[in-house]
């Protein structure tokens, strides 16, 4: 069952003369990892950033079609493109979290970083905050490394630790869907392995969509893979099928390294 | 040929740098020589009427302090608007205007405040002096805030938004914190800039021989008094002017060094 269903979705940047995404139809399956692959400029990040309406930060971008998000309370699909009010945006972004390419620790303590979203969502009780922060750090395999310096600045962590901190910060809000935008492309191989392991661990509770340039990464961790090219969705299917038995010539050419 | 040209340019620029430095050294040397010999601890205990400088130093700081209370919030908010909220033509217009304000002759600002504050209030006052200084300060603070915020990476803003924070929360909690060191340094430097100003105070606050906390009357100013004392024919007045100049220079120097120290330590 999909947690999100992308239906006839198109997107145009304010500054661009033409659509950057056209007529995308794609499900994001619940408690699965869906990876978006494709050469640079194919629109995979643009698509990912649409799923929590990140493009609304900048004026005059245009969405068309539907982005249906599952409401887990009544099992109905709701179109997130209908969202207009500030508090609806806040709720959407707490339900659909995002991790960026470069680690983005805030200039504050490790504890305050993880507690940031919780405080925004109105949790003030100190013990509850402490518990949720610790749970999130444990769930992100970071607690052991930082438990003795929770009040130290997060800027002192290594790149890999900072990225896991950002994941903990997002996980603390108990999102339903977590979007990863090339989360390991700025990290060394060991940190990358730790993040991949963590992402696989997270899918028990959270559905995941990940944009990656690294095809080995997509084949290692994802259950479903979507291949995009020049703003179109070329092929979507189970990861094994896409990598071993692609239906489209373009997909085969890309995954065998003939272009891209 | 190219090597020769290289040597000529090197020679010329070295000589120019040395000439500039020589004048600076000369000024400092004279200032220290004449200032130190007239400097005495009692200058800090007595007011000008008793041959000291206490009221002038305090007055100068109070006026610069009030100017900062007006100029820093206004300038910072304008800088935040320019970088975070505004877009398009108006932003460019405000930036240009602010840059022009920054290079406006300070005597013009003094004349402006004379017309809009001193004339209606029928007299020079500490308030008028503070306003003149704050007008000098605002464009510097705008420029600093604007520039320092522009150095904060876009991803940090997006990360805050992605956690459900509203834009103003992201700016207050994250962006300003990330730019804190740079903004603090800029604020200190803008304070150092206005504390040494004479022209904006010359006919707004004037100066006073007495200690005063009443900002509605002519207010003691170190810089304006240096100007007045230096024009006085008696040698004791001129010695006092040298001592005051020395103290003023040291104050500005200290504030600048403090600004550099903060940048080096945290930046």
Using a CB-CB distance cutoff of 8 angstroms, which residues of chain B are in contact with residue A91?
Answer: 164
Do B82 and B1 share a structural domain? no
Tens digits of per-residue pLDDT, A143-180? 999 999 999 999 999 999 999 999 999 999 999 999 99
Residue of B163, B165, B177 lying closest to A107 (CB–CB): B177
Residue A16 scores a pLDDT above 90: no
B159 contacts in A (CB within 8 Å)?
98, 100, 104, 106, 166
What is the tens place of the pLDDT at every residue in A210-238?
A: 999 889 999 999 999 999 999 999 999 99
B164/A contact by beta carbon, under 8 A: yes
Do residues B26 and B47 both lie within one domain? no
The verdict on a CB contact (< 8 Å) between B180 and A107 is yes
Does the pLDDT at position B183 exceed 70?
A: yes
* Same-domain pairing of B20 and B83: no
Q: Is the pLDDT of residue B98 over 60?
A: yes
SS3 annotation, chain A: CEEEEEEEEEEECCCCCCCCEEEEEEEEECCCEEEEECCCCCCHHHHHHHCCCHHHHCCCCEEEEEEEEEECCCCEEEEHHHCCCHHHHHHHHHHEEEECCCCCCCCCEHHHHHHHHHHHCCCCCHHHHHHHHHHHHHHCCCHHHHHHHCCCEHHHCCHHHHHHHHHHHHHCCCCCEEEEECCCCCCCHHHHHHHHHHHHHHCCCCEEEEECCCHHHHHHHCCEEEEEECCEEEEEEEHHHHHHCCCCHHHHHHHCCCCC
B190 & B103 share domain: yes
Mean pLDDT of chain A: 92
CB contact under 8 A, B161 and A54: yes
pLDDT at A260: 63
Taking contacts as CB-CB distances below 8 angstroms, the residues of chain A near B157 are 57
B132 and B147 together in one domain:
yes
Question: Is B165 touching A (CB cutoff 8 A)?
Answer: yes
What are A167's two structure tokens? 């994941």
Instruction: Note whether B169 contacts A86, CB cutoff 8 Å.
Output: no
**Span B198-237, pLDDT tens digits:** 999 999 999 999 999 899 999 999 999 999 999 988 988 9
pLDDT value of position B260? 87
- Residue B1: the pLDDT is 80
Kindly state whether residues B29 and B82 are assigned to the same domain. no
Task: Give yes or no for B169 touching A (CB within 8 A).
Answer: yes
Of B162, B164, B174, the CB nearest to A54: B162
Whether residues B190 and B239 fall in one domain: yes
Min distance A101 CA to chain B CA atoms (Å): 9
Q: Which of A53, A116, A175, A186 to mutate to test the interface with B (most CBs of B within 10 A)?
A: A116
The predicted model gives B39-45 an average pLDDT of: 91
Which residues of A make CB contacts under 8 Å with B? 52, 54, 57, 59, 86, 89-91, 93-94, 97-98, 100-102, 104, 106-108, 116-117, 120-121, 166, 169-170, 173
Nearest-Cα distance to chain A for B142, in Å, is 23
B163/A97 CB distance under 8 A: yes
One domain for residues B207 and B228: yes
**B267 pLDDT above the threshold of 60:** no
Q: Which residues of B touch A83 (CB under 8 A)?
A: none
My answer on whether B208 and B247 are in the same domain is: yes
A29 confidence band (pLDDT: 50, 70, 90): very high
CB pairs under 8 A between A and B: 68
Residue A223 contacts residue A3 (beta carbons within 8 Å): no
Cβ separation of A107 and B163 shorter than 8 Å?
no
Range of the structural domain that residue B178 is part of: 43-266
pLDDT tens for each residue of A197-208? 999 999 999 999
The average confidence (pLDDT) of chain B is 93
Q: Determine the residue among B157, B163, B176 to mutate to test chain A binding: the one whose Cβ has the most chain A Cβ atoms within 10 Å.
A: B163
Kindly report whether the global pTM for this prediction surpasses the value 0.90. Answer: no
Residue of chain A nearest B156, judged by CA positions: A104
Confidence (pLDDT) at A73? 85
Percent of chain A with pLDDT over 90: 80
Please state at what angle helix A126-139 crosses helix A159-171, rounded to 10 degrees: 130
Give the percent of chain A with pLDDT over 70.
Answer: 100
Whether residues A107 and B178 touch (CB distance < 8 A) is answered with yes
Residues B71, B19 share a domain: no
Chain-chain contact of A108 with B177 (C-beta, under 8 angstroms): yes
- Does the distance separating the beta carbons of A101 and B180 come in below 8 Å? no
Please, which pLDDT band fits residue A87 given cuts at 50, 70 and 90?
Answer: confident
CATH number at residue B214: 1.10.3720.10
Based on the domain organization, do B27 and B127 belong to the same domain?
no
Q: B266 pLDDT exceeds 80?
A: no
Asked if residue B89 has pLDDT above 90, the reply is: no
With CA atoms as reference, the chain B residue closest to A106 would be B174
Residues B230 and B256 in one domain: yes
Q: How many domains does chain B have?
A: 2
> Tell me, what's the ipTM?
0.89
């Amino acid at each position: 069952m999909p947690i999100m269903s992308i239906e006839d979705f198109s997107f145009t940047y304010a500054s661009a003369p033409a659509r950057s995404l056209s007529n995308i139809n794609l499900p994001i399956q619940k408690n699965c990892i869906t990876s978006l692959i494709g050469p640079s400029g194919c629109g995979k990040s643009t698509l990912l950033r649409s799923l929590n309406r990140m493009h609304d930060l900048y004026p005059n971008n245009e969405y068309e079609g539907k982005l249906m998000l599952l409401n887990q309370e009544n099992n109905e699909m709701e179109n997130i493109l209908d969202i207009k009010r500030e508090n609806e945006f806040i709720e959407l972004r707490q339900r659909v979290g995002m991790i960026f390419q470069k680690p983005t620790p805030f200039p504050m303590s490790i504890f305050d970083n993880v507690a940031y979203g919780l405080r925004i969502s109105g949790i003030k009780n100190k013990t509850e905050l402490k518990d949720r922060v610790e749970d999130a750090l444990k769930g992100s395999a970071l607690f052991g490394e930082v438990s003795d310096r929770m009040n130290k600045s997060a800027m002192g962590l290594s790149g890999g630790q900072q990225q896991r901190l950002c994941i903990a910060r997002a996980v603390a809000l108990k999102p339903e869907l977590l979007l990863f935008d090339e989360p390991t492309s700025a990290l060394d191989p060991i940190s990358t392995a730790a993040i991949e392991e963590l992402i696989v661990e997270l899918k028990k509770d959270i559905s995941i969509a990940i944009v990656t340039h690294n095809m080995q990464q997509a084949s290692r961790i994802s259950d479903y893979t979507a291949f995009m090219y020049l703003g179109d969705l070329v092929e979507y299917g189970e990861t094994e099928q896409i990598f071993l038995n692609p239906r489209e010539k373009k997909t085969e050419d890309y995954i065998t390294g003939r272009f891209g | 040929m190219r090597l020769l040209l290289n040597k000529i340019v090197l020679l010329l620029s070295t000589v120019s740098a040395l000439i500039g430095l020589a004048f600076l050294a000369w000024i400092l040397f004279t200032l220290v020589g004449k200032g130190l010999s007239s400097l005495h601890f009692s200058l800090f205990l007595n007011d000008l009427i008793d041959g000291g400088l206490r009221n002038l130093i305090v007055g100068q700081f109070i006026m610069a302090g009030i100017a900062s209370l007006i100029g820093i919030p206004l300038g910072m908010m304008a800088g935040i608007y320019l970088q975070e909220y505004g877009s398009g033509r108006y932003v460019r217009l405000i930036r240009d205007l602010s840059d022009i304000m920054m290079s406006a002759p300070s005597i013009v600002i003094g004349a402006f405040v004379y017309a809009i504050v001193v004339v209606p209030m029928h007299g020079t006052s500490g308030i008028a002096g503070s306003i003149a200084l704050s007008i000098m300060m605002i464009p510097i603070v705008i420029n600093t805030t604007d520039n320092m915020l522009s150095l904060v990476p876009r991803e940090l803003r997006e990360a805050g938004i992605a956690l459900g924070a509203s834009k103003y929360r992201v700016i207050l909690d994250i962006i300003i914190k990330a730019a804190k060191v740079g903004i603090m340094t800029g604020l200190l430097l803008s304070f150092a800039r206005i504390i040494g100003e004479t022209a904006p105070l010359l006919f707004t606050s004037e100066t006073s021989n007495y200690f005063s906390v009443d900002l509605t009357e002519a207010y003691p100013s170190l810089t304006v008094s240096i100007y007045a004392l230096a024009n006085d024919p008696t040698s004791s007045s001129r010695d006092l002017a040298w001592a005051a100049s020395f103290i003023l220079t040291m104050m500005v120097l200290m504030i600048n060094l403090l600004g550099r120290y903060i940048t080096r330590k945290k930046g």
